[in-house]
Amino acid sequence: MFNKILIANRGEIAVRVIKTCRRLGIATVVVYSDADADSLAVEMADEAVHIGAAPAAQSYLVADKIIAACKQTGAQAVHPGFGFLSEKAEFAQRCADEGIVFIGPNPGAISAMGDKIESKKFAAAAGVSCVPGHIGEIADTAEALTVSETIGYPVMIKASAGGGGKGIRVAWSRQDVEEGFPAVRAEAAGAFGDDRIFIEKFIESPRHIEIQVLGDKHGNVVHLFERECSIQRRNQKVIEEAPSPLLDPETRAAMGAQAVALAKAVNYDSAGTVEFVAGQDRSFYFLEMNTRLQVEHPVTELITGLDLVEQMIRSAAGEKLAFGQDDLAINGWAIESRIYAEDPYRKFLPSIGRLVRYAPPAEGEKGAYTVRNDAGVREGDEISMYYDPMISKLCTWAPTRIEAVQGMARALEDFHIEGPGHNVPFLAAVMDQDRFVAGELATSYIKDEFPDGFSGTEPTAFQADLLTAVGCAMQRIQAQRLGRARSDWTVVVGHGKQRVHLSGEGSSLTVDLLDEGRSLQLTDIAWRPGLPTFRGVLDGTAFTAEVAPAPEGFVIRHRAAKARVLVLTARSAELHDKLPAKAPADTSKLVLSPMPGLVVSMDVAVGQTVREGEVVCVLEAMKMQNILRAERDAVVKTVNARPGDPVAADQVLVEFG
């Protein structure tokens, strides 16, 4: 076994590997860029080595710097995590040449399966069912158009070295190919240093199901069952679970056997994932193989009881697998929600900034469910524009799927973040949807369920009661501190208005809804002025709400329902009814930057006439390129940014006359 391992990665996965190494008694080294000098991983590791500037191409992707750090610190092995150098066969070979153990598959397996184009050729030759497509590199946009029209729209334009949702576009028409092909190539070059592209048929309404495999250096390979990863946006996984609600035992066994056969064919000797696209009828096709640890590996760990990082380390050290396929079984159900620094209310655009507050739910058993949270950040850390915007991975485990879903919904209530925008309300909305609870999933789920984007949800009857009760309780607690407690108020929640009478003492409160002739019992109240969350039990149901002061009341969010709650005297309520509605600002003549980022191209000039749908400019943030289009026909009046300029969210880029 190794004495010291270097982790060639950052953030959450670096922290994850350190935790396993600590348990195994292995010393750790992390490398870090300028942006990560004060990171949690640097704090936790036994040693840390600076390797360059913030852009990955100048730090985490530079093999020479990783090898030099190993030699400097005496690390015997490298764990690459995911992303960066994790699927670079040449890096694995370089490690071998330098006498350093690569904690991952052998270079031959990476070459055979890690490259999207070569893996499809290999799979086709091995008789594995593949998605129809053009198995080969596409030279330019003209060839991309020819191939796309031969296959038939819609098609997927994919980077050969892609991963993490980057370097991929769905094209529904010639125009989509003309715009998408160069964008995918640019993303691929920037994120992976490899701009090779291939095209395959896009299967509509599919499910994304993947099989976790694990091999050793003695020819043994097993599968650890499946994960369902169908809830995606922009081809980036958002919610994963294990097992899949789609599969029956027969399909599970067939997919697992195919994945193991493919892994054995390339002498696979570490953790890896064979990805399939599945139809609702349980038909499935090989998509690709990820020759590394997956972001969503925690759900597999939760249902199998195995530590995949430990298994990778043991395999790399030459140990045989300590178990066979018959020793493995699925225990319970696990759900993972990826907590991203992105604004779901603005089409999930990346958000950066300091984590002013970061308060995840406590880990461990919570009665019917168990919570796990894998994170690489602390309160006060900065979410950088240079890397993936993930904040953490929140997981729940329970004996059944419905209990795991309910546990996740409750855990999301207990997750409080301030600073950058985040997707916790959106994740909570999905957990509450009947379709998700029923397991009726597809990769088009977010587009299907939120066709006009996400704007929160309307309060349910229970949530309307909760917002009313919480607003009353907060008003009462504040008034009592000032010695001006009242018992009668008018509460306005959205368009609803309610006269209430309050009674009770301490942590218990009765809220009489006078207009409806019923009462609410709010007990176990845990809040004081200044706290961002309010905890309590409403009519027997425990909850956590996010709260903030506002003029004459509060802004309160419970899961995906958010409202301004006014707690007014009767006279104030009368006056509010007479106030005119405030008209929103007119931004129809402006093109605003939807996020902080860099201007890649400015495609219009002053005086130019543009048509609705034409490209105005392209922005890059979090390694993704975003195309901004004109929303109407117009003439350009001013252009306020040039290629290469950094821009802030809501900055005016172009003004129309």
Q: If you write DSSP's letter for every residue of 257-271 in order, what string do you get?
A: HHHHHHHHHTT--SE
Return d(Cα 492, Cα 499) in angstroms, integer: 9
Q: How far is CA 314 from the centre of its chain?
A: 29
Half-sphere exposure of 63 (CA within 13 A, CB side): 17
Contact 141, 355 (CB under 8 A): no
Contact 160, 202 (CB under 8 A): no
Instruction: Retrieve residue 357's tokens.
Output: 């507050």
Beta strands 155-163 and 166-171: pairing type? antiparallel
In 279-389, the DSSP E strands lie at: 284-290, 333-340, 342-343, 349-350, 353-354, 357-359, 364-365, 370-375, 382-383
240 is catalytic: no
Residue whose entry in the numeric block shows the structure tokens 């060639």: 8
Q: 125 in helix, strand or coil?
A: helix
Beta strands 271-278 and 207-215: pairing type? antiparallel
Angle at 26 between CA 318 and CA 272, to 5 degrees: 50
Q: Which of 12, 226, 228, 288 is catalytic?
A: 288
Give the CA diameter of the chain: 81
Q: Phi then psi for 195, rounded to 5 degrees?
A: -105, 20
Instruction: Retrieve residue 476's tokens.
Output: 């009462």
Return d(Cα 625, Cα 634) in angstroms, integer: 24
Contact 161, 110 (CB under 8 A): no
* Structure letter (DSSP) for residue 327: G
Instruction: Retrieve residue 469's tokens.
Output: 């009760």
Return d(Cα 470, Cα 506) in angstroms, integer: 14
Beta strands 370-375 and 364-365: pairing type? antiparallel
Q: How many residues does the chain have?
A: 657
* Structure letter (DSSP) for residue 113: I
Closest CA to 615 of 598, 595, 601: 601
Centre a 10 Å sphere on the Cβ of residue 172 and count the other Cβ atoms it contains: 13
Return d(Cα 126, Cα 264) in angstroms, integer: 11
Closest CA to 255 of 293, 215, 282, 281: 282
Angle at 150 between CA 149 and CA 151, to 5 degrees: 90
Return d(Cα 63, Cα 88) in angstroms, integer: 10
User: N- to C-terminal Cα distance for the chain?
Assistant: 69
Distances (CA, A) of 91 to 77, 102, 514: 13, 9, 71
Phi-psi region of 546 (alpha: psi -120 to 50; beta: other; left: phi over 0): beta
Q: Which residues are catalytic?
A: 288
